[in-house]
Chains A and B, each alone.
Chain A
């Protein structure tokens, strides 16, 4: 049995449906992520699971039992709030001790568990500091420790890394993965940063306008987006409008708008119009008329623009028929920021096994 189940959960604010018929199940020990743009209903779902809000329709089950009649303080579910919500009048140690105190544990047991948990998040020496005396990253850890200290069945994390700078964020991502593995508590994580979701999660539910667009493991979310929204929202993607002209032995013949005939791997989903989703890193870029393989889809074009981000450079190529494509190239030669200049004649190509056709 799944640990947490949502069945057709709906939440309306007036006429506005913030969450529409959302169903998913989270397994015990899983790192599950709700990913979606701002306002898509992620926080609303978390609040309903935590008990601060009630669904207008549908059911929420924990270990198979309906939670509707259980108030938040009785649910074995804790939340790490985006603003951390640390108690300003309590020291770090007392903040972490709070849920244990509420559970009425004996003082010695509280001290032992607080010490242990602070150790786990590397904060043992800050136990006597007050929240206003510690940094944002440290507050983050206190909030995590406080949420985990009495081993809830489920920990909800609402954009917990949102307020941290990039470096600290990456550090905390690694620690989150490690911590979750160590304590074995099930995480339901909310974020609007797709790279964070891909890096952390066992499974991701991509949400848009109150609905789940796709629910899958990160590699499939990235590699096999089920619709335009997911393809577009996750990472960068070239979306080529296309029409199926023939299907044979595991391959599709597509008539791409403005490009003519291209070959792509088959999908099991029917539909004769859609888009071919092609990641920039799947597109190779060569000087002039070079090419490697006549099995590839190949098109000549001109470099129009590029974006250097350090490890890689993304080139915007305008094909001769006017279509724009981005191609990515790793800066594998030392000191090179780019291999092509604006205006260079190039050939872009991609393997016929690359790309993913998304029927409408």
Chain B
């Protein structure tokens, strides 16, 4: 094969994914970055970059970032969002691990069916499923009545399950659980059972076999499952909108409001950038910690 041909075929292979990333990732990201340095348009949207000549705002500015740091409220919402995402991820992990493990250990001919059951909820509309939780957690439902009956027995005031951080967490966990189960299952299913025999043979009891063999081998699945839950939860606005109270605003709601509510696109873009930078920083930290764990 000649050199030009070689170069050509290399291009043929790498060009499509490169173009794909450019078109669907890099360009939109750059647009958002640019927007975060612009002024808002008079009726939403963005003010022009070039001077329109009528004395209105135009060009680039740091005003949006200054505004973000002028009020700790925004950072507080951001931190709360991270907290909710972390809690949702942790709860998902705790709930998903045994499920994934059981599916991976079940007879081969049943596994596909069980996986299908895990993803079956996706067959119905996301909003309908979240609204269903409004009924389940609502004051008339058995759950709330049981809880408040119990509280009453101890002489405590009744609480509302719905429109609370608890309801938000329930919704987040419920919606994202399959995203944790699937990567965990894919990982656990690949484990060679002879490793557990070997561990047992060498003196490991059931807990040690899990902690020393299954768990460390499943870490890649834990990481991808966590990323698949953590990041969507971080940006989620529908669930806190429907199930949360007025004080449970998360960064997703805030950003959505900038675009759809108060129509301050540049500040929405700024919030998005801050959020993205935080996530990237966290991912970098995780990668660094992961490397350290492997060789340390």
Contact residues in A for B216 (Cβ distance below 8 Å):
89
- Contact string, B169-203, partner A, CB cutoff 8 A, digits 1/0? 00000000000000000000000101101111111
Residues of B at the A interface (CB closer than 8 Å) are 192, 194-195, 197-205, 208, 212-213, 216-217
How far, in whole Å, are A102 and B216 apart by their CA atoms in the complex? 16
Q: Are B217 and A89 in contact (CB under 8 A)?
A: yes
- Contact string, A125-156, partner B, CB cutoff 8 A, digits 1/0? 00000000000000000000011001000000
Which of B204, B208, B217 is A88 in contact with, Cβ under 8 Å? B217
Chain B: interface secondary structure? helix
Contact residues in B for A85 (Cβ distance below 8 Å):
192, 194-195, 197-198
Q: Are B194 and A78 in contact (CB under 8 A)?
A: no
- Chain A 54-89 residues near chain B, CB threshold 8 A: 71-74, 77-79, 81, 83, 85, 87-89
Which of A52, A83, A88, A102 is B202 in contact with, Cβ under 8 Å? A102
Contact residues in B for A146 (Cβ distance below 8 Å):
202
Chain A to chain B contacts (Cβ below 8 Å), 18 pairs: A52-B200, A72-B200, A73-B200, A73-B201, A73-B204, A74-B203, A77-B201, A78-B202, A85-B192, A87-B195, A87-B213, A88-B195, A89-B217, A98-B199, A98-B212, A102-B203, A102-B204, A102-B208
Q: Are A98 and B197 in contact (CB under 8 A)?
A: no
Contact residues in A for B208 (Cβ distance below 8 Å):
102
Q: Are B213 and A79 in contact (CB under 8 A)?
A: no
- Contact string, A35-55, partner B, CB cutoff 8 A, digits 1/0? 000000000000000101000
How far, in whole Å, are A298 and B201 apart by their CA atoms in the complex? 57
* Shortest Cβ gap from A239 to chain B (Å): 40
Q: Are B192 and A73 in contact (CB under 8 A)?
A: no
Contact residues in A for B197 (Cβ distance below 8 Å):
52, 72, 79, 81, 85
Contact residues in A for B194 (Cβ distance below 8 Å):
81, 83, 85
Contact residues in A for B192 (Cβ distance below 8 Å):
83, 85
In this complex, which of A101, A102, A103 has the most chain B Cβ atoms within 10 angstroms of its Cβ? A102
Contact residues in B for A52 (Cβ distance below 8 Å):
197, 200-201
How far, in whole Å, are A73 and B213 apart by their CA atoms in the complex? 15
Does residue A265 face the partner (Cβ distance < 8 Å to B)?
A: no
Contact residues in B for A150 (Cβ distance below 8 Å):
203
* Shortest Cβ gap from A153 to chain B (Å): 13
Contact residues in A for B201 (Cβ distance below 8 Å):
50, 52, 72-73, 77-79
Q: Quick one: closest A residue to B215, CB to CB?
A: A89
Does residue A223 face the partner (Cβ distance < 8 Å to B)?
A: no
Contact residues in A for B198 (Cβ distance below 8 Å):
79, 81, 85, 87
Count A-B contacts at CB 8 Å: 55
* Shortest Cβ gap from B129 to chain A (Å): 37
Contact residues in A for B205 (Cβ distance below 8 Å):
73
Chain A to chain B: the 4 pairs with minimum beta-carbon distance, closest first: A102-B203, A85-B198, A99-B202, A85-B194
* Shortest Cβ gap from A142 to chain B (Å): 12
How far, in whole Å, are A71 and B206 apart by their CA atoms in the complex? 11
In this complex, which of B192, B199, B216 has the most chain A Cβ atoms within 10 angstroms of its Cβ? B199
In this complex, which of A78, A83, A98 has the most chain B Cβ atoms within 10 angstroms of its Cβ? A98
Q: Quick one: closest B residue to A52, CB to CB?
A: B197
* Shortest Cβ gap from A245 to chain B (Å): 56
Contact residues in A for B200 (Cβ distance below 8 Å):
52, 71-73
How far, in whole Å, are A89 and B195 apart by their CA atoms in the complex? 11
Contact residues in A for B204 (Cβ distance below 8 Å):
73, 98, 102
How far, in whole Å, are A285 and B203 apart by their CA atoms in the complex? 58
* Shortest Cβ gap from A186 to chain B (Å): 16
Contact residues in B for A89 (Cβ distance below 8 Å):
216-217
- Contact string, A312-323, partner B, CB cutoff 8 A, digits 1/0? 000000000000
Q: A87-B198, A87-B213, A102-B202 are in contact. List 6 more A-B contacts (CB 8 A).
A: A52-B197, A52-B200, A79-B201, A85-B195, A87-B195, A102-B204
* Shortest Cβ gap from A159 to chain B (Å): 14
Q: Quick one: closest B residue to A94, CB to CB?
A: B212
How far, in whole Å, are A74 and B213 apart by their CA atoms in the complex? 18
Contact residues in B for A147 (Cβ distance below 8 Å):
202
Contact residues in B for A73 (Cβ distance below 8 Å):
200-205
How far, in whole Å, are A71 and B201 apart by their CA atoms in the complex? 9
Contact residues in A for B212 (Cβ distance below 8 Å):
87, 98, 101
Q: Quick one: closest B residue to A79, CB to CB?
A: B201
How far, in whole Å, are A89 and B191 apart by their CA atoms in the complex? 12
Q: Quick one: closest B residue to A149, CB to CB?
A: B202
* Shortest Cβ gap from B8 to chain A (Å): 35
Known: A85-B192, A87-B195. A98 touches B202 (CB 8 A): yes
Contact residues in A for B195 (Cβ distance below 8 Å):
85, 87-88
How far, in whole Å, are A87 and B213 apart by their CA atoms in the complex? 7
